[in-house]
Amino acid sequence: MTAPTVTAPRPVSSVSLTKSPATVTDPALVRRAVKAAALGNAMEWFDFGVYSYIAVTLGKVFFPSGNPTAQLLSTFGAFAAAFLVRPLGGMVFGPLGDRIGRQKVLALTMIMMAVGTFAIGLIPSYATLGVGAPILLLAARLVQGFSTGGEYAGASTFIAEYAPDKRRGFLGSWLEFGTLVGYVGGAGLVTLMTALLSSSELTSWGWRIPFLIAGPMGIIGLYLRMRLEETPAFAAEAERAESQRPKVPLREMVTGQWRAMLLCMGLVLVFNVTDYMLLSYMPSYLTSELKYDETHGLLVVLAVMVLMMIVQPFAGLLTDRVGRRPVIAAGCAGFLLLSIPALLLIRQGSLVAVGLGMGALGLLLVCFTAAMPSALPSLFPTRVRYGSLSIGFNVSVSLFGGTTPLVVTALIGATGNTMMPAYYMMAAAVIGGAAVWFMAESAGRPLPGSGPALES
């Protein structure tokens, strides 16, 4: 047999195996890419997630009203508004990432998120500025949402294009590990402040602390991402196009990928509805609907996220062994069958019952957090991967994921039925299960539009 011919430039080498060019990955570069993407994602989601953890206090600061439910609805309304501009961010950053490269766009989204979050910490209260205060809050949230439109799709694409085929699930799972680190950091800080500060101190100045931390965190995240090199898959695509700025029509990203786009939206729907239900809405649900102590509620969510972090890498390994489809399907079936029993446990009110119910939902959510970072980029070819994934992901998140706290709170207010969170998750599980049925297995296979990615 003739020895393979090495032809590609740094950071990887390209080899000819029969008719398909293959990439031999550099382990050191892969580790650095995964760390930088995951750490940057952790910082970004600390910024974005902390808003929901302190939602009750923000309602008192920016939306004064005698009705706590109305305050919470207004706060979650601003939360949901950021998701309305996420598709716009995806339509800007996604195609840009396919044109100029993943690394540059990920650095840009990092700094925009930090600026938007830092600005929230500087906004005067409603008592000081009047109606201008919630308007400025909304503007800062829109900056956050716009930048986030290019974050998840870019980070998952970045890791997927660096990872060898047989380890893409494990390496991709670290992206959501970073997300959980950001959530844990935000929840931990809010829990600490809630325990140490009085209600008046938290309302007057304490709520600003998590947002002001975003400034230095953004600088660190920007430094990490600026040190990254472009992915081998994008570099090869740019070389084939004989340009560093391959142009892809928006029509090709959407209508040309309509089947993959629909599958992406269905998978993202179940992923994000359950994610935002558990990690963003449940602390407020425990406090506003079940009259649970704020500190204890946050501690329970914090413990659930730590449990998810422990399981996450092992679940990622499992997706490489048995495939993405079985793991995602197990999560959909679990939410369909166990959402009502889990919420009934939570409604018992005792710490043990709440912990068991939340823990069960958290372990089911790991089926999605471990598999999606590798499954979603595999739906699209390299030429349009960042753009198509950004658009499909953010349209689905905007319509269904980010609106989850607002919709469920409104449904409970309209019906008086506090079991609405369970019914909402079950409906999402049905849609996600249908998407899994039609998707192809991608574990251990090359990304569409690229040759095999090998470890040796």
Return the minimum-mean-pLDDT range out of 40-54, 77-91, 180-194, 406-420. Answer: 40-54
3-state SS string for 22-40: EEECCHHHHHHHHHHHHHH
Q: 219: Cβ–Cβ under 8 A, 6 or more apart, which residues?
A: 114
Exposure on the CB side of residue 132, measured as CA atoms within 13 A: 5
What pTM does this model have?
0.84
Q: Classify residue 349 by its DSSP letter.
A: -
Kindly state the tokens that stand for 342. Answer: 């889990």
The predicted-structure confidence for 191-247, as pLDDT tens digits, reads as follows 788 888 888 888 889 899 988 887 788 788 788 788 878 888 887 777 776 554 556
Contact predicate 166/103, CB 8 Å:
no
Question: What letter would DSSP give residue 6?
Answer: B
Residue 453 phi/psi, 5° resolution? -110, 115
Model pLDDT, residue 377: 95
Summarize pLDDT for 236-277 with one digit per residue, the tens. 777 776 554 556 666 666 677 889 999 999 999 999 999 989
**88-125 pLDDT per residue, tens:** 999 999 889 888 888 889 888 888 888 888 898 999 98
Would you list the domain boundaries of the chain? 25-440
- pLDDT at position 247 is 61
Q: What single string gives the DSSP state of each residue in 110-168?
A: HHHHHHHHHHHTTPPPHHHHTTHHHHHHHHHHHHHHHHHTTHHHHHHHHHHHHS-GGGH
Residues in the chain: 456
Q: What is the pLDDT of residue 18?
A: 36
Percent share of the chain, pLDDT over 70: 88
Average pLDDT over the chain, rounded to whole?
83
Fold of 25-440: Growth Hormone; Chain: A; (1.20.1250)
Residue 368: pLDDT band with limits 50, 70, 90? very high
